[in-house]
Every structure is written in structure tokens, then in C-alpha cells.
Amino acid sequence: MTVKNRVEETNYRTEDMRRRNSIVFWTITFITIISTIPRFSFDAPIGLYIQLSVMLILWASLAFIHFRKVFEPYMRYVAIIGTSISITVAIVLEPSITNFSSVYYLLILTLIYMDLPLTVYSIIYGLGIMIYMSFYQDIGVTNEMLMPYFLYYILIAILMFAFFTCI
């Protein structure tokens, strides 16, 4: 491999990382906006302000990394781990059946990066959160409703690992 080929490969990898970071940044920006707007009520409980603070800190961190182009290789870890912290805060402070979709959202963000350690982290974290929501929170989930949630989750996890065998 010549020096020119190495430089071209490095440039390609850098551009690929920037594209992936950009997709994740704008996705998290959109989610932050649509999650923030309904929270501006004067009688909101303190838990919602905590959740909003975590989301805005995550967004500000990602914006700094994305626009300053510093620590770009680590943005994926900040994005996925920060999103999982934000999801955990939302699930603990505001229990709801709609939080199951947050776990799937995290898996989709993880798929954008195609990083094996992040995939393993997201799958284990997601399973733990789904078990917590299903059995330790009173969100109105019946036993009949649990089976499809876990079945879909297991199928998605298998597909995520199948992507790595095709690469």
C-alpha cells in the first residue's frame, strides 16, 4: 500500500465518520426540539426539568464536538451513552408505555455507527431497561403485550449482530 493510498483511505474514513456524526447530531437535535417544546409549562414537575437539563447538556456536548470538529472519533460514544442516560432519566422520572420506543430509537442510533462495542452496550442496556419497565414499573403493560415487545427486541438484536457478520 502506497502513502497516497493510505492518505486516501484515511480521508475516506474521516469523511465517513463525519457523515455518521452529522446524521446522529441532526437526529438528536430533532428529538431534543420536539421533546423540549411541550415541556415549557409553568406547572411542570421538577423531574421534567431534570430530564430537559440532561437532554440539553447532551445536545450541547454533541454540538460542540460536531461544529468544532474536536474529539470526532469519540462523538459516537458521547451520543450513544448520553442518549442512554437521557432515556434512563426519562424512564425513571416519567414512566410510560411509550418509553419502549426509546429503546428502539437507541438501537437505531447505534446501527448508524456500526461499532461492535457500542452495539453490545446498547443491546445489553436496552434489554435491562425493557426488563425494568416491564416488571418493575406500573405502566399498564399486560402479559399479552410483553411478548411482542421482547420478540421484536430479540429479532432486532439478532439482525444487528448479523450485520457484523456480513461486513
% of residues, the chain, pLDDT over 90? 49
State the cell numbers at 104.
428502539
**Does 57 or 47 have the greater pLDDT score?**
57
Q: What global pTM score does this model have?
A: 0.85
pLDDT recorded at residue 6: 60
Of 14-18, 42-46, 85-89, 154-158, the one with minimum mean pLDDT is: 42-46
* pLDDT in the model for residue 167: 63
Q: Which residue has the cell 437532554?
A: 55
**What local confidence, expressed as pLDDT, does residue 35 receive?**
80
Cα distances (Å, whole numbers) of residue 51 to 1, 33, 56, 152, 163: 50, 13, 9, 27, 33
Return mean pLDDT, the chain: 86
Selected residue with higher pLDDT from 10 and 114: 114
Q: 156: pLDDT confidence band, cut at 50, 70 and 90? A: very high
List the domain range (segments joined by +) for residue 8: 3-166
Give residue 8's pLDDT band: very low, low, confident or very high (50, 70, 90): low
Question: What integer is the mean pLDDT of 59-73?
Answer: 92
The dihedral sign for the CA sequence 39, 25, 62, 89: positive
Q: Would you state the pLDDT for residue 2?
A: 66
Q: How far apart are CA 84 and CA 12, in angstroms?
A: 29
Number of domains in the chain: 1
Distance in angstroms (rounded) separating the CA atoms of residues 107 and 42: 34
DSSP 129: H
The grid cell for 6 is 493510505
